[in-house]
Chains A and B, each alone.
Chain A
């Protein structure tokens, strides 16, 4: 009890410190890039080209390696010279790489503008609908909106999410939905950070550091998706950031923004990284019903397990779709029936339950939890993961079960 309290206090202290760091940027550090970029665009639209030029000039002074700022300045000067149709330019840059870069930079400006010019969903107090419940031991969460080139972090105070950061990011050159090795796509799904690699141990193109994630996860492997080395990382120091589609599948952000994320991500706590292809944002209270439903489903599964009645227990598993590292439903049913029928007592307790609606999948949720198992002859504590899917009869069944 005493020990627990101390833990909680240090946790709170750490959290307070975090908030302090985020709210008060280090002195002398230039003001954040993106708000200033948007400011210069606003100046162009609602003020004058002179005002916009002044803002861009100072932005370029502070961020001389921003290709985006240079492009906007180039466009502004072209407009002054009477050239407003940038398609004239296309014919003069005939290197495909240069054309791609120009298109990429314009996409970046468009995406940043769409996301930032008006208050984003997170600023309005909305949360991603896919985060149904976040376990209290997960202090933070990374949410990547791959379609709109944003990476968000949230803090978690007893299940209540609060926005910590909202930044631009770039993803795989070929977009989303990674399927196989070398397809240069970013995977969509629920992952977690596995470790941290310091920039000293990395080639310069990864910038300020890297957090690898656990792609391919159980579901990816089941779908026979291949590839590896999907990381969250920084940018080569020669550029401020990359264009929206520019990595081999990684989530690549600017170095200052990566530095901002660094203290928020905890490999030892397996910080969750949700990568979504079409996020839906909702008011937190709209998730309450779903949350209650799946918690109840899990509790029912626990109860039926504790009943030691194989039929009740197995009724939660999908006969057709179920898979595990130990085999399909038939194998699972045989093994579990054999083990459970020998027991005189089974006591299961779940804690630290996280629930996510699985991005890129219809009617699928993933549940992660700590399972305390006690029986007459065996005790264990393990971190588990289950995928639940809704079948044709609108019943939710477990289609995968394994260790986290």
Chain B
């Protein structure tokens, strides 16, 4: 079983060096008391600072640490939440919050907090999403072998990160939607070229340059190792055990909260495209029809006839498998054009066509306004 580690900082000097001097003196003494184990005095001192500076992230964070050391879990959770309320990008607080939830056995809340921690850094979030995508791909391979299905011929492409801030909005990855695969269910292999948020005025130093103690402290597994005893051990499911926790310190004074990158319309269009293909593959007529704009009317048909026709088509098929590849999404004024190769297969019919869909924004969502085979 893994520990969830609190983020620790070895270099206190760096920390105190950055923060403002007047305030530093007070917090510094609170911190010294805390480090000396004088938790009561440290807490009193910290509370004093918070009284005069209720928005002091450092003081609130220290308070949370002290509370968590005095096993005042709920209070510590509230303090970390207070930090997050001021700085929603405070990764360390999310992490430490997760550690506290884990200790309380609230695993869902813990995982949610960690997901939030990851989202605070768009680069890290992309790396993490890509890692997940790779795990899922690997898993699918094993599942195919477990089920003795033929291996899929596919290239896995994951998101590339662009440092230069190139705003080109062409997405060119091969994405295959296979309905019987895990992907259809969890939809995580949606990949995108994301850009690092543009620096406001002066470029920030690369995160690499900072002395960040990013490696979480992992306790050896030996202390939790148990041997199976007796017949009561039945299932190979890990038991939720109380996690052992160490206390954390922030890695730096948060200058400006790093927020997730603004939504990229090309990515949204791509998601809409994939969800359309997924709905088709899943023969989900409601979702499929909703992918089109209100009152969508293909040539020579009324909207009602078209919808009824599609429903009938879906209902009568045993299965449908739609696979898209060579997806290119380009902007066209306010709208977007998606060009791709579409492989269609059902129990009755099979073909491959090149297609073009025009997406327009309707009530805040990207909808298909035109569908052409090329």
Query: What are 15 inter-chain pairs, A to B, with CB distance below 8 A?
Result: A44-B236, A45-B228, A67-B148, A77-B136, A78-B136, A81-B132, A81-B135, A81-B136, A81-B186, A88-B186, A94-B319, A101-B148, A117-B228, A117-B233, A239-B148
Interface pair A118/B221, CB less than 8 Å apart: no
Interface pair A82/B139, CB less than 8 Å apart: no
Q: How far is the CA of A11 from the CA of B238 in the complex (A)?
A: 49
Interface pair A67/B145, CB less than 8 Å apart: yes
Residues of chain B contacted by A269 (CB below 8 angstroms): none
| Besides A45-B236, A74-B141, A91-B184, 12 other A-B contacts (C-beta < 8 A) | A67-B145, A77-B135, A77-B136, A81-B139, A81-B186, A83-B186, A88-B182, A92-B179, A93-B147, A95-B180, A109-B236, A117-B236
One digit per residue, 1 when the CB lies within 8 angstroms of any chain B CB and 0 when it does not, for chain A 215-252 equals 00000000000000000000000110000000000000
Within residues 301 to 360 of chain A, which ones have a CB less than 8 A from any CB in chain B? none
Nearest-CB distance from A51 to chain B (Å)? 8
Nearest-CB distance from A142 to chain B (Å)? 25
Interface pair B143/A70, CB less than 8 Å apart: yes
Q: Does A386 contact B (CB under 8 A)?
A: no
- Place the interface of chain A in its size category: 35 or more
Give B229's nearest chain A residue, CB to CB. A118
Residues of chain A contacted by B226 (CB below 8 angstroms): 46
Interface pair A48/B146, CB less than 8 Å apart: no
Nearest-CB distance from B196 to chain A (Å)? 24
Contact of B142 among A73, A92, A101 (CB under 8 A): A73
Interface pair A48/B1, CB less than 8 Å apart: yes
Nearest-CB distance from A29 to chain B (Å)? 23
Give B179's nearest chain A residue, CB to CB. A92
Q: How far is the CA of A47 from the CA of B231 in the complex (A)?
A: 19
With A70-B145, A74-B140, A92-B179: A82-B233 Cβ-Cβ less than 8 Å: no
Interface pair B179/A74, CB less than 8 Å apart: no
Interface pair A78/B146, CB less than 8 Å apart: no
Interface pair B142/A74, CB less than 8 Å apart: yes
Q: How far is the CA of A45 from the CA of B226 in the complex (A)?
A: 9
Q: How far is the CA of A102 from the CA of B146 in the complex (A)?
A: 8
Nearest-CB distance from B2 to chain A (Å)? 7
Q: Does A71 contact B (CB under 8 A)?
A: yes
With A46-B227, A117-B228: A41-B136 Cβ-Cβ less than 8 Å: no
Q: Does A114 contact B (CB under 8 A)?
A: yes
Interface pair A92/B181, CB less than 8 Å apart: yes
Within residues 194 to 240 of chain B, which ones have a CB less than 8 A from any CB in chain A? 221, 224-228, 230-231, 233-239
Q: How far is the CA of A28 from the CA of B128 in the complex (A)?
A: 41
- Place the interface of chain B in its size category: 35 or more
Closest 4 CB pairs of A and B: A74-B142, A77-B139, A71-B146, A81-B135
Give B136's nearest chain A residue, CB to CB. A81
Residues of chain A contacted by B231 (CB below 8 angstroms): 118
Q: Does A113 contact B (CB under 8 A)?
A: yes
Q: Does B36 contact A (CB under 8 A)?
A: no
Q: Does A283 contact B (CB under 8 A)?
A: no
Of listed B230, B237, B238, residue having the most chain A CB within 10 A: B238
With A46-B227, A70-B143, A78-B135: A92-B185 Cβ-Cβ less than 8 Å: yes
Interface pair B236/A41, CB less than 8 Å apart: yes
Interface pair A92/B238, CB less than 8 Å apart: no
Residues of chain B contacted by A47 (CB below 8 angstroms): 221, 225
Interface pair B147/A81, CB less than 8 Å apart: no
Within residues 114 to 147 of chain B, which ones have a CB less than 8 A from any CB in chain A? 131-133, 135-136, 138-143, 145-147
Give A118's nearest chain B residue, CB to CB. B231
With A46-B226, A48-B221, A92-B184: A74-B235 Cβ-Cβ less than 8 Å: no
Interface pair B2/A89, CB less than 8 Å apart: no
Q: Does A105 contact B (CB under 8 A)?
A: yes
Residues of chain B contacted by A238 (CB below 8 angstroms): 148
Interface pair A42/B142, CB less than 8 Å apart: no
Residues of chain A contacted by B235 (CB below 8 angstroms): 110, 113
Q: Does B343 contact A (CB under 8 A)?
A: no
Q: Does B331 contact A (CB under 8 A)?
A: no
Q: Does A140 contact B (CB under 8 A)?
A: no
Q: How far is the CA of A45 from the CA of B237 in the complex (A)?
A: 6
Interface pair B143/A74, CB less than 8 Å apart: yes
Nearest-CB distance from A5 to chain B (Å)? 46
Residues of chain B contacted by A77 (CB below 8 angstroms): 135-136, 138-139, 142
Q: How far is the CA of A74 from the CA of B137 in the complex (A)?
A: 9
Give A44's nearest chain B residue, CB to CB. B236
Nearest-CB distance from B321 to chain A (Å)? 11
